[in-house]
Amino acid sequence: MSSTPGRLSAAERRDLTSAARIREAAILRFARDGFGAPLRTIAADAGVSGALIVHHFGSKKDLRRACDAWVLEQIRDSKRTTLAAGDSGPWLAQLGRAERYAPLAVYVARTFQAGGESAAEFFDHLVDDAVDYLAEGERSGLIRPSRDNHARARLLTGMNVGSMLLQMTLHPELLQGGDFTGFFRHLTETVTAPALELYSEGLLTSRKLLDEYLMYVPDPPVGAGGGESAAPPS
Amino acid sequence: MSSTPGRLSAAERRDLTSAARIREAAILRFARDGFGAPLRTIAADAGVSGALIVHHFGSKKDLRRACDAWVLEQIRDSKRTTLAAGDSGPWLAQLGRAERYAPLAVYVARTFQAGGESAAEFFDHLVDDAVDYLAEGERSGLIRPSRDNHARARLLTGMNVGSMLLQMTLHPELLQGGDFTGFFRHLTETVTAPALELYSEGLLTSRKLLDEYLMYVPDPPVGAGGGESAAPPS
DNA sequence: CCCGCGGCTGAACACGCGTTTAACATACTG
DNA sequence: CAGTATGTTAAACGCGTGTTCAGCCGCGGG
């Protein structure tokens, strides 16, 4: 992994090797076309042969694992940065707007689309983030308290990620060019207004339905959450 | 297509032929495993050879087209029925609970997951339904008026479908058995409570954010909608 | 009787894909 | 300079898949 005598750290130097180019190309291509993208296409993107990819990474699965780890690392970086800047909040939305991080956000969306273990893990991660974010909003008086913080966080996160997934399948052309920011711009443009309305005023005129439901089913929360996903009864 | 001399209509008689069995098996298998399911698996489900499928339907794509049409027809039926019973409303949620229609709902979800032309068409269909449903709720005083009915309908539909998609990728095991109703049960169970809370009380304590946003961007609606999908800024 | 035709099949073909293999180039080492 | 490790490649293999092909079976009509 390290042969040149330069004094850069191994991690830094690797960013100049073809292995790094492959990783970069793979992330971009996976974000564009999903994880079904042929290995040879990634190879062409990186300007190398297909065989070299498996030589460096072992297999396509391992390549994806490497990309996953790298993306997660980048995201942690970004979170540290925005947190340090006091600009806390849900990163998925903001991330998409930042030119640099948009591909990462789309990559994450592809992870959800592909499903599997990593998707579930990542979702829990996002939910935990949302819990924190909502709690902070609650403290600052911006957000209402909930009967079940975890369930609410799960609902909102699920709606967000789900909507992203839907937009991905409904408008694949937005990803086909490398224009990842356009994807998020379109998403927020069509969503912000009605979402703010829903968040500010609600949807129902009375609390009758809610009260009836709460009467019907027993206790709402206790401590830890139990269920998982999200989809309101329209 | 018709050789036996019975007096049933051609369409009815076909429901006894192996072509019908193939269609039925394909719908179930597509719902379970998605449209990537191998033709030979469907053939095994239907108890026929793989070659017979293409003999009857021409190709896998054509088979899917036939299934799409059939499912759409079934859904129209179901809509007519529930509408006649005065039990109007969004069918996707209710549909999942009805033992008979649950596979159809999952099939539709798979359609969205696969993306493409039919997904977009179907989504518009759902949005139109939601517009009607919301308007009716508004008339009956249950639902608040909106600044942009179409945008709101798109948001809510997108959140619903998106959440369904997410649950599909997050919990594929719920589909792996043929238990399609369990899928929807789990979905509504984890979602209903926080969704009702959100719909009844909103999320934000003040309308400041909304007003600011509305001040910032010009007119909200006019007549027809323009954008498409949905995903609130968490 | 047999002839033909439609339902139906197993085997073979074509193709895209991940992966393996053998070889070549380059550069560092003794 | 030989030797060896490392980066890199073209070609081939294996496998899963949609599709095609040649033929079998059973039955209704001459």
Length of chain B: 234
Measured between alpha carbons, how far is A135 from A60 in angstroms, rounded to an integer?
40
pLDDT band at A94 (very low <50, low <70, confident <90, very high): low
**What pLDDT was estimated at residue A228?**
44
* A14-30: average pLDDT: 89
Contacts of residue B203 in chain A, CB cutoff 8 Å?
Answer: 143-144, 156, 198-200
Low-confidence ranges of chain B (pLDDT < 70): 1-16, 83-97, 218-234
Cα–Cα distances (Å) from B25 to B32, B67, B109, B220, in that order, read 11, 10, 17, 47
pLDDT band at A78 (very low <50, low <70, confident <90, very high): confident
**What pLDDT was estimated at residue B2?**
38
pLDDT above 60: residue A229: no
Longest pairwise C-alpha distance within chain B? 73
pLDDT above 90: residue A79: no
User: Which residues share a beta bridge with A204?
Assistant: B143
Is B159 in contact with A156 (Cβ distance < 8 A)?
Answer: no
CB atoms within 10 A of CB B92: 24
Structure confidence by residue, pLDDT tens digits, B66-107:
999 999 999 888 888 876 666 655 666 666 667 788 999 999
Single-letter amino acid code for the residue at B47: G
Q: Considering only CA atoms, name the residue closest to the C1' of nucleotide D16.
A: B38
pLDDT above 60: residue A62: yes
Mean pLDDT score across all residues of chain A: 84
Cα–Cα distances (Å) from A15 to A21, A39, A104, A184, B185, in that order, read 7, 20, 17, 28, 48
Measured between alpha carbons, how far is B23 from B43 in angstroms, rounded to an integer?
10
**What pLDDT was estimated at residue B226?**
43
Q: Which residues lie below 8 Å from residue A46, measured CB to CB, with a gap of 6+?
A: A18, A21, A22, A24, A25, A26, A53
**What pLDDT was estimated at residue B6?**
35
Range A8-26 burial, b when 16+ CB lie within 10 A, else e:
eeeeebeeeeebbebbbbb
Burial environment of residue B209 by CB neighbours within 10 A (0 to 12, 13 to 18, 19 or more)? middle
DSSP B183-211: HHHHHHHHHHHHHHHHHHH-SBS-SHHHH
B97/chain A closest Cα distance in angstroms: 11
A86 φ/ψ sector (left φ>0, alpha ψ -120 to 50, else beta): left
The residues close to strand D, meaning Cβ under 7 A, are A 1, 3, 17-19, 47-52, 55-56; B 37-40, 50-51, 54, 59-61
Percent of chain A topping pLDDT 70? 79
In 3D, which of A65, A77, A76, A51 has the Cα closest to residue A23?
A: A65
Could you tell me the two tokens for A208?
């009758």
Count CB pairs under 8 A between chains A and B. 310
Q: No. of H helices and E strands in chain B? A: 12, 0
Could you tell me the two tokens for B2?
């018709």
Burial environment of residue B21 by CB neighbours within 10 A (0 to 12, 13 to 18, 19 or more)? middle
Question: A218 to chain B: nearest residue by CA?
Answer: B193
In 3D, which of A64, A87, A99 has the Cα closest to residue A185?
A: A99
Length of chain A: 234
* Collapsed DSSP state (helix, strand, coil) of residue A204: strand
Instruction: Note the pTM of the prediction, 2 decimals.
Output: 0.86
- 3-state secondary structure string across B18-60: HHHHHHHHHHHHHHHHCCCCCHHHHHHHHCCCHHHHHHHHCCH
| Out of B172, B209, B229, closest to residue A170 by CB | B229
**What pLDDT was estimated at residue B86?**
61
Measured between alpha carbons, how far is A191 from B229 in angstroms, rounded to an integer?
7
Is A200 in contact with B207 (Cβ distance < 8 A)?
Answer: yes
Structure confidence by residue, pLDDT tens digits, B201-219:
999 999 999 999 999 876 6
Measured between alpha carbons, how far is A101 from A95 in angstroms, rounded to an integer?
5
Q: Which residues lie below 8 Å from residue A85, measured CB to CB, with a gap of 6+?
A: none
| Out of A144, A160, A165, closest to residue B165 by CB | A165
* A189-193: average pLDDT: 91
Mean pLDDT comparison of A28-42, A79-93, A115-129, B95-109, highest-scoring range: A28-42
**What pLDDT was estimated at residue B79?**
82
| Out of A123, A143, A165, closest to residue B162 by CB | A165
